[in-house]
Amino acid sequence: MAISKIKTGSIADSAITTSKISDGTIVNADISPSAAIAANKTVICTSITDTNTFNISLLGFKMAVNEGLTVFNLIDGVVDEFHDESGTDEAEGSNDHYDATNDLYTNNASATCVSAGFTMTSVTEEDTSEAGNNPTQGTATSAVFTVPLGMTSMAAKVWGGGGGHAGNGNGGGGGFVSGTVAVTPGQSIYIVAGEGALGGNGSTPGGPTSGGVKGGAVGGGNVTEPCNAWGGGGGGAGLVSTDPYGPTARQAPSPRTVSGTVLVAAGGGGGANQGAGGAGGGLTGDAGDTSPEQTNAEESNGGGGDQEQGGQGGSTGSAQSGAFLYGGNGAPVYGSGGGSGFFGGGGGGSSSPQHLGGGGGSSYYGNPAVTSGATEEGNLTEGGGVADPAYVAGTNEGVVDAPGEDGYVLLTGSGTSFGGPGGGATTIISNAFTSTTVPTSSRIVVFEENVDSPTLNTDIIASVSRDNGSTYTAATLADSGYVTGSSGQRILTGQATISGQPSGQSMRWKLALANNTVKIHGVSLQWA
């Protein structure tokens, strides 16, 4: 059979569809340089473009610095391409906010309010925080709050978890603690919201029933037997810490340290058939079935924890005492768990027919980073801090005939945000650098990036001092011409004669920014 030829003129428009073209078969040579390809059909890697633009600008900065040696015969100097704040004097500057993410100073920083509320598994502020998780009752991993830029202190309010009920005994309410905490931008703060404990269901002892279960990673005391219908678990403590936590406080003490413990809100003790759980403290938790704040066991009811020791376990049935960050277990077979706390409450005892309540844990604000600390103890089933304006309904109570309510943690403060039009008044001043001689002339190089449209020597003013900042002489800035284009990045240079200043060898540079937003990536000062 003869080979047929297909002429291009015989191919109808749109006859060759995508399905008839093998992938990867069209090469550059097949596409005309004048082809009208829409812009939305092309992909440009903007991150690479931005990086290259910055690197070209940085090269211009270094070339301008080198000019000071080769053209202007300056013999000494310093170069600070910003990677941290070590080259500037934060005490001397004003509103000199450093953007650590992008390694620059800018004058468009503004205060922004931060409010992060933590439950066992959620957080209200996702920009700063990562929620913890709680796979099963009595186990959890801590949430994380990352201190934002510009925040040096935060207000913290913490509510502990309520104890579980059993039979005729209600769980104790959790405690409440508040304070102002000194923090550092970028610091990780670990949060555990106190988990409310489960209670026994009050069926016939020894039957196939559910016993109480402790609350939380910072755990209350447990009931000893899983079918203990007559003992409730102890409530978990709420916690603010610099140590990570999870899943239980009964594991090895590290990294659970006293020094890393910032604030603790006590958990309430578990109730038992003949005794209610003690409420979480205050600085000292309540003993089971009573309101007195005491560490000693009250007959077979567990004692409350305080600032130095756990509450004593109930006197019958080998109930456990509380300890650092957890409550004592209840006595076999029908004892109730102590509430967790800085030191937890003792577990409730068990001596037929009496099955008594666990003690409440203690709250804590004694960390040196905390100021204006305060606590409020629970009262029977009611938790502390219920009248606080930030209180969330359904929090930290030992509910009648129901599991204890979970606690809550709220962190608030002011951070710093960047962006938006307009630049505020900002002064950036360098540390002092010692010259080998008394200089008479100087040159400053500024790696600057426009955000708005600043006017040189009005919105950006550079000056130089040789007497440690007591006297400054302005340098008239000009665009060096090294960098142009749409990036806004440019190199500014200026000279200043400083021979008229008081004699000195302590050199500083100063930048005054105002009116229009700019970014400063680096500064060099040279002298002779």
Residue ranges of domains in the chain: 56-108+421-527, 110-417
Residue 521 tokens, joined: 């990536």
Enumerate residues 6+ apart whose C-beta is below 8 A from 497. 440, 441, 442, 473
Q: What is the pLDDT of residue 377?
A: 94
Q: How confident is the model at residue 156 (pLDDT cuts 50, 70, 90)?
A: very high
Q: How many helices (H) and strands (E) does the chain have?
A: 1, 24
Report d(CA 268, CA 261) in Å as an integer.
Answer: 19
pLDDT at 33 over 80: no
Q: Is the pTM of this model over 0.75?
A: no
* Highest mean pLDDT, choosing among 146-155, 317-326, 387-396: 387-396
56-108+421-527 CATH choice from 3.40.50, 1.10.3470, 1.25.40, 2.60.120: 2.60.120
Other Cβ atoms within 10 Å of 254 Cβ, number = 8
DSSP state of 144: E
Residue 85 tokens, joined: 């704040």
pLDDT, mean of residues 438-451: 91
- pLDDT tens figures, 389-433: 999 999 999 877 678 899 999 999 987 766 655 667 889 999 999
pLDDT, mean of residues 334-340: 86
Determine which helix (DSSP H) or strand (DSSP E) holds 61, and give its type and residue range. Answer: helix 46-70
Residue 65 main-chain phi, psi, to 5 deg? -65, -45
Of 374, 360, 334, which is closest to residue 178 (Cα–Cα)? 374
**DSSP conformation letters of 69-88:** HHTS---EEEEEE-SSSTTB
Of 212, 218, 216, 237, which is closest to residue 355 (Cα–Cα)? 212
* Alpha carbon separation from 58 to 448, 491, 520 (Å, rounded): 10, 9, 12
Between 22 and 361, the more confident residue is 361
Least confident of 12-26, 234-248, 309-323, 507-521: 12-26
Q: Which runs of E-coded beta strand occur in 213-276?
A: 238-241, 261-265
DSSP state of 96: -
The residue written with tokens 């577990």 in the block is 347
pLDDT at 43 over 50: no
